[in-house]
Chains A and B, each alone.
Chain A
């Protein structure tokens, strides 16, 4: 059997804006039926990548293949992709049904087929009852659905989404995250989504590419990015992370000794088994707030590690409590404790505690 080509194959894509590299040698492959996200802060170059795939911008270097076909010199109206615009870009003078019918009509589909395809597409986004409305008469969430239907009705090889949920309010945004994912599964279509919202990317995507300053820093499944970030930027951008920066000194009885400016003296930190470090090299230790525990006892099991600290602040947020604990003069960590663990709820500001964690939860970054 011949292997099917990837939905999208981007190789060493470069886009220059004047002297700066807006997109800096970006490569990635998206498999058929995958929900792939480009995640990064504004100005990371992710929208530029999306617009090059759609055909609105021309790459300065590199190639884009869609379903194995090279897209060089193919204009947007001949590409087998459809873009859902950030502003939705619904045609204000056309009804919902006319908006959705636009693509098939431009492709010259027969009238009867257009009608049935429009109906299927509107059913998929649950908007059949509003097909005679004008876009201006719809709510933001409904407009979003029309934009999706207008793109999906064309059965594109890849659906491109530019910040699809950014114009919606918080609650609707969370509903649509689930909705978007299930629409993608129903339509069995490859989605490539650009977003600056990390929660959105993690919830919906099969895989995520984190972009920063035009470059792809890491590509992986959401859990890979969260559990095993390969750079401080990814760790900070995806979730909250506690950091300890220092210099690796030596191995002492199986323990790595790290000297940090932020802590008094040398701290002994046990690094996960496979880490091999050179003496004098800079090292950053990362720990997620929910992997930390607070205890009045120094150490429990040998699989654990602890550091002394004092409680600085207790923040109550319903499902959990956040403790800001001070480990050194300039070092404050975040500890998140679920509210069901009643034992720790008695802590107040000024208490002396030990921050404890499983050694296997430690993420070590070396420069």
Chain B
């Protein structure tokens, strides 16, 4: 018997193998992502039946309805909350990621594990825990009252602040991990070189570390901003009726108002917005990625 597996493997590395490698993922995404996506787009142009069904007629009514200021306000509020969340995650995540990236290699694994530990518990459970912490007679207020820092409990739960707290908590790891990857790749000698060339620590950060970590900053911001923008669980539980985000609106149209076509139209608008934003960001970062490609 001849053992020629490696040679055989190398010889058949043509088109056939590529399809075997691509096949399962392609099939899965095609059936469960692309087809439903098309359905959503189609439904967004349909009409709503009297009792919540879908009337298969083509019209732009749903999109025209979205021009109502109420929807613009909700979209605007969602963008502000998601942007705020992203900014807070960046401000808190950067030093953390930098610390981990500069720690001894044996320690890095430990710190990264700590960053990921929250994933071991269900997100819903963790959000309920935040309700317990933030509510009027909750953990935080009890503590503040005991310490005499406040005279009356502060109303934190069911506010935009609570939503941002919950979102930052939930998405911080998605900021830290790509930042860590980018910062870990920054050669320590570059930092020393800048320092040797009379840069202050502040200048080293702005001139060298931040520009080199830009791919990580972009990835982290996208990974936080996009899910924050579409979040519905966190604003539902922590924001209550007062701070509705676009995710809640979509959920409301589909499940409560039973207006699938309008919900689908909002989904499409959100999707277009995110796609457009990503395209713009990619374009803005092209010079840098080109530079990296050529080096």
Q: Which residues of A contact B (CB under 8 A)?
A: 54-56, 75-78, 81-83, 85-87, 89-93, 102-103, 106-107, 134-137, 150, 154
Do B288 and A83 touch (CB < 8 A)? Answer: no
Q: Which residues of B contact A86 (CB under 8 A)?
A: 189
Q: Known interface pairs A106-B203, A134-B295. Does A91 touch B196 (Cβ–Cβ under 8 Å)?
A: no
What 20 new A-B contacts, CB under 8 Å, besides A54-B196, A106-B197, A134-B291?
A55-B196, A56-B192, A77-B195, A77-B197, A83-B193, A85-B189, A89-B192, A89-B193, A90-B193, A91-B193, A91-B194, A91-B208, A92-B190, A92-B212, A92-B291, A93-B288, A103-B197, A106-B203, A135-B295, A136-B291
Q: Which residues of B contact A92 (CB under 8 A)?
A: 190, 212, 291-292, 295
Q: Which residues of A contact B294 (CB under 8 A)?
A: 134, 136-137
B274 within 8 A of A: no
Q: Known interface pairs A93-B212, A106-B203. Does A150 touch B189 (Cβ–Cβ under 8 Å)?
A: no
- Name the residue on B nearest A81 (C-beta): B196
Do B189 and A87 touch (CB < 8 A)? Answer: yes
Q: Can you identify 25 A-B contacts, CB atoms within 8 angstroms? A: A56-B195, A75-B195, A76-B195, A77-B196, A77-B197, A77-B198, A82-B196, A83-B192, A83-B193, A83-B196, A85-B192, A86-B189, A91-B190, A91-B194, A92-B212, A92-B291, A92-B292, A93-B211, A93-B288, A102-B197, A106-B198, A107-B198, A134-B294, A134-B295, A136-B295
- Name the residue on B nearest A162 (C-beta): B189
Least Cβ–Cβ distance between A190 and chain B, in angstroms: 16
Q: Which residues of B contact A76 (CB under 8 A)?
A: 192, 195-196
Q: Known interface pairs A76-B196, A77-B195. Does A89 touch B189 (Cβ–Cβ under 8 Å)?
A: yes
The residue among A77, A81, A86 with the most chain B CB atoms within 10 A of its own CB is A77
- Name the residue on A nearest B212 (C-beta): A93
Least Cβ–Cβ distance between A54 and chain B, in angstroms: 6
Q: Which residues of B contact A55 (CB under 8 A)?
A: 196
Least Cβ–Cβ distance between B140 and chain A, in angstroms: 42
Least Cβ–Cβ distance between A122 and chain B, in angstroms: 16
Least Cβ–Cβ distance between B148 and chain A, in angstroms: 44
Q: Which residues of B contact A85 (CB under 8 A)?
A: 189, 192-193
Do A87 and B197 touch (CB < 8 A)? Answer: no
Interface residues of B in 152-206 (CB under 8 A from A): 187, 189-190, 192-200, 203
- Name the residue on B nearest A83 (C-beta): B196
Q: Which residues of B contact A54 (CB under 8 A)?
A: 196
How long is the Cα–Cα vector from A134 to B203 in the complex, in angstroms? 21
Q: Which residues of A contact B203 (CB under 8 A)?
A: 106
Least Cβ–Cβ distance between A74 and chain B, in angstroms: 12
Q: Known interface pairs A87-B187, A89-B187. Does A77 touch B200 (Cβ–Cβ under 8 Å)?
A: yes
How long is the Cα–Cα vector from A169 to B85 in the complex, in angstroms? 51
Least Cβ–Cβ distance between A113 and chain B, in angstroms: 15
Q: Which residues of B contact A78 (CB under 8 A)?
A: 198
Least Cβ–Cβ distance between A104 and chain B, in angstroms: 9
Q: Which residues of A contact B190 (CB under 8 A)?
A: 89, 91-92
How long is the Cα–Cα vector from A102 to B208 in the complex, in angstroms? 11
Q: Known interface pairs A91-B190, A106-B203. Does A154 touch B291 (Cβ–Cβ under 8 Å)?
A: no
Q: Which residues of B contact A91 (CB under 8 A)?
A: 190, 193-194, 208
Do B193 and A106 touch (CB < 8 A)? Answer: no
Q: Known interface pairs A134-B294, A136-B291, A137-B295. Does A102 touch B189 (Cβ–Cβ under 8 Å)?
A: no
Do B198 and A154 touch (CB < 8 A)? Answer: yes
How long is the Cα–Cα vector from A232 to B150 in the complex, in angstroms? 78
Least Cβ–Cβ distance between B56 and chain A, in angstroms: 54
Least Cβ–Cβ distance between A179 and chain B, in angstroms: 21
